[in-house]
Amino acid sequence: MANGQQEEQQLPQVGTQQQPSLYQTLGSMKPDELLKFKGFMHRYKGQQQITRNVGGDRAVELMSEVESGALTVKSAVERSKAELTPSMKLIDQEFFKKDVTPSSMLILKERTGGNWTRTERNLWFSHYNSIQSRENKRLVGEGKLSKQVADNNKYALKAQVDYHNIEDAIFRGTKDLFETNKYGNFVTNADGSLKVGSFVREKDGKKITVPSMDQADLDMLTEKWSYIRSEVAKDLNPATYGQADQLGMQRALSVISNIVPEEYLRDKKGIIVGDEFISLYEQELETPALRKIFFDSLNSRLTRAKDHLTNVAPVGLETEESDPWSKYMVE
């Protein structure tokens, strides 16, 4: 018995060792490591704020200037603040009210959101999610919402943010292929399909107008994008949380990455998807390498979204919308 007890005591304690806290990790860093970490966090937070203020395309431009040394992170942030539109200031004003609620944010969107640009709507989306999470926490404390339902909503909102970032990156990558209105939103044909753009090309000494893409590419892009949207709706629907086909979505993202114009990937000097910025400053990359970087960025967001949804526990939630993704889309 004594031997048995001794052997049991010598067995490794799997899963009982606690991971070091952030405070312990920082405390164990060498001075140069701590300095690098602080620099990374300063840059990361600045990049997040810039993207929030001016959107992905403009954020890439400002972060590229940071990469080249033309701007500091602080000056890039200040420039992005100066570029806030009146609508964004109105959204911020509502968000920072002490008595703000999800309902009041929705009222603001219904009242003025029809003319918002994509960047303005993205800002509203970010603020609305923050308020909704805060509201759910309050309802749990008052016993009006179960903790499990609130937790499910929390992880679903996190996944929704990642899916929203994928959608935004694809929009920015393909928008030059389609006609857009003055608010930057796609223009549709009478049947609801997106209206293909055009550009002027010289042929035999004459300028001719040609479509921005052929019918085969248009059909493929439409098919793959529709598939991704349907799978996202499945993943975010409480009745089917996390049931989207990740491999199928990866394949669709790969196809889309090969349709995005090379000029978009090359001219931006960087790729930004959500809070991830990949600098291409002074890099001479072949087209396949650029497309792989773009795909990897999209796939990273997809993986994060699916990881969030692994934390969701089925509780038979009801939902007011069959497609919660749809109300944040900018057509």
Question: What is the tens place of the pLDDT at every residue in 32-57?
Answer: 776 777 777 777 788 778 887 877 77
In a domain, 33, yes or no: no
pLDDT on residue 132? 92
Number of domains in the chain: 1
In a domain, 100, yes or no: no
Please say whether the beta carbons of 129 and 157 come within 8 A: yes
Question: What is the tens place of the pLDDT at every residue in 117-157?
Answer: 888 888 898 899 999 999 999 999 999 999 999 999 999 99
In a domain, 316, yes or no: yes
Helices 215-236/287-309 angle, 10° precision: 20
Q: How far from each other are the two terminal CA atoms of the chain, in whole angstroms?
A: 72
Sign, CA torsion 65/69/70/76: positive
pLDDT on residue 21? 65
The pTM assigned to this predicted structure is 0.71
In a domain, 314, yes or no: yes
pLDDT on residue 234? 94
In a domain, 82, yes or no: no
Helices 31-68/118-141 angle, 10° precision: 150
Positions of the chain with pLDDT lower than 70, given as ranges? 1-24, 26-27, 34, 267-270, 272-277, 279-283, 315-331
User: Helix (H, G, I), strand (E, B), or coil: what is residue 306?
Assistant: helix
Specify burial of residue 141 (Cβ count, 10 A radius: 0-12, 13-18, 19+): exposed
Greatest distance between any 2 Cα atoms in the chain? 97
Backbone φ and ψ of 198, nearest 5°: -150, 165
Structural domain for 247, as ranges: 164-331
pLDDT on residue 9? 37
Please say whether the beta carbons of 257 and 294 come within 8 A: yes
In a domain, 59, yes or no: no
In a domain, 327, yes or no: yes
pLDDT on residue 22? 58
pLDDT on residue 44? 74
In a domain, 16, yes or no: no
pLDDT on residue 8? 40
Instruction: Mark residue 201 as left, alpha or beta (left: phi above 0; alpha: psi -120 to 50; beta: remaining).
Output: beta
